[in-house]
Amino acid sequence: MIELHQGEDWTLATETGEPVTRLRLGVGWDKERGAGFIGSGAPDVDLDASAVQFAGGKLFDLAFYNHLRTRDGSVEHQGDNRTGDGEGDDEVISVDLDRVHGPVDTIIFLVSSYQGHSLEWVDRAYCRLVDEHDTELARFRLTAGVPQTGLAMAGLYRDGDRWRLRAIGEGVDVKVPSDAVTALRRFV
């Protein structure tokens, strides 16, 4: 497993050089202890993982809690977690890179707060990439609170017949993925 830091990238390939074509992106978080008003307890924080596909800098499609699969069937959201409770991945997006529509050259993974909480309300947030054999390939941790309501976590970029993963880790002011397209274009 590779621990990625903001701006680092990695070619999606096995140790023998074969391209990794099927993977899952897992996102996990907990609500920050003490977040919320005094005496009211910390509210649940509903983060949403999304995958936004771009072709030539233009939106092609997206997968998120309200639109679970891209038209080409290559990206599928596995369901919404509204609290971050429990251990392990809170939301999962599956990607079959062999099925990605030809013109699509970028897939950006976004986490956004549906209720508009800044990401300073979350603790131990991470994004991890797992191959089809359930081997963790890479992990990116959100180590400091982000004052925005969203975070561009990572991107997949077509590089010839292979794909590269880049850890982005930059805050964006969005609550729902359909509003994020303009903010995400700078990462394309």
* pLDDT tens digits, 138-157: 777 765 667 887 888 889 99
Lowest mean pLDDT among 8-22, 29-43, 106-120, 150-164: 29-43
The answer to whether 101 and 51 are in contact (CB under 8 A) is: no
User: What's the rounded Cα separation, in Å, for the pair 188 and 20?
Assistant: 21
Nearest-CA neighbor of 85 among 38, 145, 150, 31?
A: 31
2-187 has CATH 2.60.60.30 classification? yes
Nearest-CA neighbor of 23 among 146, 165, 126, 183?
A: 165
The answer to whether 144 and 152 are in contact (CB under 8 A) is: no
User: What's the rounded Cα separation, in Å, for the pair 62 and 46?
Assistant: 19
- The residue-averaged pLDDT of 53-70 equals 94
187 vs 42: which has the higher pLDDT: 187
